[in-house]
């Protein structure tokens, strides 16, 4: 079976993890800081805080953004549910702006919504690895004093048109990445939040570790922390209602090893995507999503938008036909307001026509580093046969 996506692990990755397993620190050791520093250096941010998952990162970003009852987050409906859930975790509200033809959030729709409603935070989604127009979005958010945290789950390694990397936080307050196995680099599970704001950074560190402060210079009860002017070695303070969102040294060792290969990963993904663009551009029953936009993207996904009515085959049937040919496919994503939880909350989707029109035809085909030329040729042949 050729899956729609998968990780790449080599002997260096295995050696890096084995070294940690033989060391004194499986967690809360030096590799976590080393990984954070390496990510910051790569994306061009001042700070980075590694966490147990991207969902954890989204949650912490919402807390730091002061999301709470009476406040509203604006995001895209074409995303994994974690983006929308981040503000709901905090008792706030989430609303949605429709997408453009590239399936990134529409700046025009964002402008309209900001003009009509009080929006406290904006979470743009760099869908498939293609960066949103952050320059325009920042201008809108700044005018209305809204915080921005970027959902860059698909976009590690992506660049903006000015050459800066997604994650540099040039146009946002925070950026959140995922290191799930199908992403640009893998740590198993895990994620990271980047920022250039020292106050945000310190708050994220505190919240990641159950709200506990161990740095004596930051203690609130300094008189209780000392004995004869010496800091008690056992003393710590819970200063916030935090969470156990720590990542391990095992995961960070894998992440550091993977990071060394990021350029070759990105180059191969781009080559694969451009070959698909060339080979599949004339199919009469489908359209290529983000065609011609590969250079700044991490190319996390390769998506076809298929006219199933014209094709005369349902999506479920087509996915089974691909599976019969040993090709895995997937749908990214069911629009968030369609899920039962959101329906029960009264969410409607009549103001999201582009999102639902996209969803009706979306199908992701295989794209990952280890996809061989022979395997891709097989995928292309089957796509042409079944769709063309």
**pLDDT higher than 90, residue 350:** no
Residue 289, domain member (yes or no): yes
Name the 3-class secondary structure at 363.
Answer: strand
| Residue 372 pLDDT | 98
132-163 residue pLDDT tens: 999 999 999 999 999 999 999 999 999 999 99
Residue 154, domain member (yes or no): yes
Residue-wise burial string across 270-300, b where 16 or more C-beta atoms lie within 10 A, e elsewhere: bebbeebbebbeebebbbbbbeebbebbbbb
Confidence band (pLDDT; 50, 70, 90) for 184? very high
Contacts of 320 (CB under 8 A, 6+ apart): none
pTM for the whole structure: 0.97
273-319 residue pLDDT tens: 999 999 999 999 999 999 999 999 999 999 999 999 999 999 999 99
| Residue 349 pLDDT | 83
DSSP one-letter string for 237-271: EE-S---B---BHHHHHHHHHHHTTHHHHHHHHHH
Q: Which of 215, 239, 259 represents a domain boundary (last residue)? A: 259
Residue 158, domain member (yes or no): yes
**Cα R_g (the chain), whole angstroms:** 22
Same domain for 113 and 255: yes
**Contact (Cβ atoms closer than 8 angstroms) between residue 191 and residue 176:** yes
**pLDDT higher than 90, residue 52:** yes
Query: By residue range, what is the domain housing residue 82?
Result: 11-259
Mean pLDDT (the chain) is: 97
Q: How many domains does the chain have?
A: 2
Confidence band (pLDDT; 50, 70, 90) for 331? very high
Average pLDDT over residues 46-64: 98
| Residue 223 pLDDT | 87
| Residue 388 pLDDT | 83
Name the 3-class secondary structure at 112.
Answer: helix
Name the 3-class secondary structure at 123.
Answer: strand
**pLDDT higher than 90, residue 230:** no
Contacts of 59 (CB under 8 A, 6+ apart): 85, 86, 89, 90, 243, 245
Average pLDDT over residues 331-335: 98
Same domain for 111 and 227: yes
Query: How many CB atoms are located within 10 Å of the residue 362 CB?
Result: 21
Q: Which of 37, 31, 80 is nearest to 187 (CA)?
A: 31
Domain with residue 27: its CATH number is 3.40.640.10
Average pLDDT over residues 251-262: 98
Pairing mode of beta strands 230-231, 226-227: antiparallel
Pairing mode of beta strands 230-231, 237-238: unpaired
Residue 6, domain member (yes or no): no
| Residue 85 pLDDT | 98
**pLDDT higher than 90, residue 227:** no
DSSP one-letter string for 144-200: TT-EEEEE-TT-TT-B-TTSPBTTS-TTSSEEEEE--TTSSS--SS-EEEEES-HHH
Same domain for 152 and 35: yes
Instruction: Retrieve residue 56's tokens.
Output: 């954890």
Same domain for 338 and 200: no
Q: Give percent of the chain above pLDDT 70.
A: 100
Q: Which of 99, 96, 69 is nearest to 84 (CA)?
A: 96
Confidence band (pLDDT; 50, 70, 90) for 164? very high
| Residue 210 pLDDT | 97
Domain with residue 378: its CATH number is 3.90.1150.10
Name the 3-class secondary structure at 122.
Answer: strand
């Amino acid at each position: 079976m050729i899956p729609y996506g998968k990780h790449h692990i080599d002997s260096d990755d295995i050696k890096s993890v084995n070294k940690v397993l033989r060391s004194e620190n499986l967690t809360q050791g030096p590799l976590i800081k080393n990984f954070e520093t390496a990510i910051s250096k790569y994306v061009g941010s001042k700070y980075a805080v590694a966490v147990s998952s991207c969902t954890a990162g989204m949650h912490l970003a919402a807390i730091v953004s002061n999301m709470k009852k009476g406040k509203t987050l604006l995001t895209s409906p074409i995303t994994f549910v974690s983006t929308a859930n981040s503000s709901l975790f905090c008792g706030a509200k989430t609303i949605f702006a429709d997408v453009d033809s590239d399936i990134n959030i529409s700046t025009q729709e964002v402008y309209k919504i900001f003009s009509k409603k009080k929006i406290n935070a904006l979470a743009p989604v760099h869908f498939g690895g293609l960066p949103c127009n952050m320059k325009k979005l920042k201008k809108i958010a700044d005018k209305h004093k809204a915080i921005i945290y970027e959902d860059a789950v698909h976009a590690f390694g992506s660049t903006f048109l000015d050459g800066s990397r997604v994650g540099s936080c040039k146009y946002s307050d925070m950026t959140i990445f995922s290191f799930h196995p199908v992403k640009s680099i893998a740590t198993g599970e895990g994620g990271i939040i980047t920022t250039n704001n020292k106050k945000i950074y310190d708050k994220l560190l505190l919240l990641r570790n159950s709200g506990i402060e161990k740095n004596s210079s930051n203690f609130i009860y300094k008189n209780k922390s000392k004995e004869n002017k010496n800091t008690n070695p056992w003393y710590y303070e819970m200063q916030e209602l935090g969470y156990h969102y720590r990542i391990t040294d095992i995961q960070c060792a894998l992440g550091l090893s993977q990071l060394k290969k990021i350029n070759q990963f990105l180059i191969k993904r781009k080559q694969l995507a451009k070959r698909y663009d060339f080979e599949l551009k004339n199919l009469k029953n489908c359209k290529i999503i983000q065609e011609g936009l590969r250079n700044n993207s991490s190319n996390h996904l390769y998506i076809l938008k298929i006219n199933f009515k014209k094709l005369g085959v349902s999506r479920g049937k087509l996915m089974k036909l691909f599976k019969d040919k040993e090709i895995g496919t997937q749908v990214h994503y069911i629009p968030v307001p369609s899920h039962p939880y959101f329906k029960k909350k009264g969410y409607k989707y009549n103001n999201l026509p582009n999102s639902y029109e996209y969803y009706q035809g979306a199908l992701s085909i295989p794209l990952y580093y280890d996809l061989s030329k022979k395997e891709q040729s097989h995928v292309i042949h089957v796509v042409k046969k079944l769709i063309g």
